[in-house]
Amino acid sequence: MQLSPELLQQIQSAIKDGTLQLGGSGRSPIRPRQLTDLRLLPTKDDPRPTFFWSAEAPRDGRDLTRTEPYPRLLWHAESGEEITVISAEQHQAKVAEGYVTMAPAWVEPDPMEAIRTQWEALSAEDQALLLESQKQDRIAMLKAKLSALPEAKLAEMLSKAAQETPAQQEIRRGPGRPRKEVA
């Protein structure tokens, strides 16, 4: 694209007298209000980046910049016990009992310890019931995975399983090992 000498002279004179300002990078200058309130939307005269967390705004239209202080976590300063409070009154009462808003530095969360504590609190019957329930859940997950397999893969897997029974798997010999005598 060729610019005429007259047009080039007009552009140069506009740059010199300050009516045409170009940034060092050639981009639009960032106005201070763009950096202080990110909720402002762009207009035809004031282009600005939009800072949406997602492409869709929430359906209920609530103000996402306002948060609520409760429910909130508290920790006991000596034992490290973690609790949840749901109101300011409950918060004040627990603070008076020795709870703090920041977890003590020596407290390390251990999920296995929490599971172990809950497990030990169950009766023997409940533990057996939970184990059976867990076994049934795993069987159901395996059934779902098997139902997702293509027919050819399922048939291949079932034929291999049918060829070796659990008793045969126990009797399987290693190389050079003599046969087991059955009396």
Q: What is the pLDDT of residues 43-53, one digit of tens each?
A: 777 776 666 56
Identify whether 22 is part of a domain: no
Whether the pLDDT of residue 86 is over 90: the answer is yes
Domain count, the chain: 2
Residue 78 lies in a domain: yes
Dist. CA 15–CA 8, nearest whole Å: 11
- C-alpha distances in angstroms, 126 versus 117, 132, 133? 14, 10, 10
Q: Both tokens of residue 53?
A: 């967390």
Find the domain containing 126 and state its range. 110-146
Strand, coil or helix: 151: helix
> Is the same domain home to 99 and 121?
no
In a domain, 125, yes or no: yes
Whole-angstrom Cα distance, residue 176 to residue 73? Answer: 64
**pTM confidence score:** 0.32
Helix, coil or strand: residue 91: helix
Residue 62's pLDDT is what? 67
